[in-house]
Amino acid sequence: MAKSKNNYIFPNVMANAMSRMTPKLQMESSMMSMFFMMIGLILTCIYSMFYLDIELWFKIVVVINGFFGIIFMFSYLASTFQSYKTYCDVQDMQKEQEINLLKTTLKGGNNQNAKTIRRS
């Protein structure tokens, strides 16, 4: 098997699998996993508050840690969602440009524009 370029610390098999992943799929999976991590943190905080026999000071630490953990995870989730929306908008605009270019070339339009857009 050929050595993958820029595989960093990952084995070649894993680097090849990760290189096939599209940015859209990566952002969708990031958002889904962060959402479930937030749910898990909330459930863990609730469980440790009501069902574990721990000192009051530790319960307070768990609540504070859980609260700020949720804020941190939500900020990551919101910024990833904004990046995802921007990425999808750009992809849609590129598809529209390609469709318009094909329509123009099929109608016998300016071939110079077609060459310029294909290069960029």
User: What digits encode the pLDDT tens for the residues 93-117?
Assistant: 988 888 888 888 877 655 555 555 5
Q: Is residue 81 part of a domain?
A: yes
**Torsion sign (Cα): 54, 55, 59, 61:** negative
Q: Is residue 16 part of a domain?
A: no
C-alpha closest to that of 22 among 72, 70, 87, 86: 87
Range(s) of the domain holding residue 41 = 23-119
User: What digits encode the pLDDT tens for the residues 40-51?
Assistant: 999 999 999 999
Q: Which helix (H) or strand (E) holds 41?
A: helix 23-50
- Tally the domains of the chain: 1
Q: Report pLDDT for 99.
A: 86
User: What digits encode the pLDDT tens for the residues 17-43?
Assistant: 888 888 899 899 999 999 999 999 999
Q: Is residue 10 part of a domain?
A: no
User: What digits encode the pLDDT tens for the residues 51-77?
Assistant: 999 999 999 999 999 999 999 999 999
Q: Is residue 17 part of a domain?
A: no
Residue 95 to residues 69, 87, 88: CA-CA distances in angstroms? 39, 12, 11
Q: How far apart are CA 71 and CA 62, in angstroms?
A: 14
Q: Is residue 1 part of a domain?
A: no
Maximum separation of any 2 CA atoms in the chain, in Å: 79
Q: Report pLDDT for 5.
A: 66
Q: What is the pTM of this model?
A: 0.67
Over the range 64-90, which residues count as b (16 or more CB within 10 Å of their CB) and which as e?
eebeebeeeeeeebeebeeebeeeeee
